[in-house]
Amino acid sequence: GTAGKLVLLNNITNAEAFISGAEVAVIGFFQEPESPEASQFRLAAGGIPEVPFGLGTGPAVLSRYGVAANTVTLFRRVDNDRRDLDMNSKDVDAEKITRFIRMNELCLVTEYNPVTAIGVMQSSLQLHLLLITDKMSPKHPERMRRYRAAAELFKGKILFILVDSNLSSNERIVSFFRLKKSQLPALAIFHAPDEEQDVLTLDEVSVERVQDFCNHFLQ
């Protein structure tokens, strides 16, 4: 069942290994692993099988991460950031925990949609690279493989985002970068603080082209 899915983290070594072993890791810090809050956490864990969930218990582990009991913390490797959800102050249930995770689970490549948009806006990374492309294209899996490989090279510097040009909710992004559908796929890089941007239309996505485009903008 879902209980087997929660990794018990009762010392700092285990907790650190657990966090560093995943792109996104979620730990519920509970003094009482059988509390009602913890059972809501277990419910949420059962609904998100692709994200590793751990149960952090014991004063040493709680103080290492500077959290009070009944806190759900999401750790993400893409920008070495974390997000805390305090379960003491408000009526937090499994649904709210799930929403918290979906909003904040930025990966090496984050697919842009109305839910992930919030995490993207709040990311500590201020440089965003968008691959605007048709997900239905037969070339899509290979494009994504190369885009992910390029994302590895800029981890902690640039947030890599995938924008599916088929979604009507993404049309304003395409027009924001003054692109037409006929010009896609395209790369668009955006520096949030001053809205500086650059666009590159591509016939093909390659690691080298993505790398050159990013380096050129960084310089």
Q: Give the fold, CATH level 3, of 109-218.
A: Glutaredoxin (3.40.30)
What count of other Cβ atoms lies within 10 Å of the Cβ of residue 108?
Answer: 19
Residue type, 175: S
Q: What is the pTM of this model?
A: 0.75
Within this chain, domains 7-104 and 109-218 share the same CATH topology = yes
Q: Tell me the CA distances in angstroms from 12 to 23, 53, 84, 93, 199, one per residue in order.
A: 19, 16, 18, 27, 44
Contacts of 22 (CB under 8 A, 6+ apart): 51, 52, 77
For the four alpha carbons of 136, 102, 195 and 212, in that order, the dihedral sign comes to negative
Q: Where are the domains of the chain?
A: 7-104, 109-218
Q: What is the pLDDT along the chain (219 residues), one digit of tens a residue?
A: 444 479 999 999 999 999 999 999 999 999 888 889 999 999 999 999 989 999 999 899 999 999 989 999 999 988 888 999 999 867 889 999 999 998 888 888 999 988 888 888 888 899 999 999 999 999 999 999 999 999 989 988 999 999 999 999 999 999 999 999 999 999 999 998 899 999 999 988 999 999 999 999 999
Could you say which of 3.30.1460.30, 2.40.180.10, 3.40.630.10, 3.40.30.10 is the CATH number of the domain covering 7-104?
3.40.30.10
Q: Tell me the CA distances in angstroms from 90 to 49, 70, 72, 93, 192, one per residue in order.
A: 25, 11, 13, 9, 32
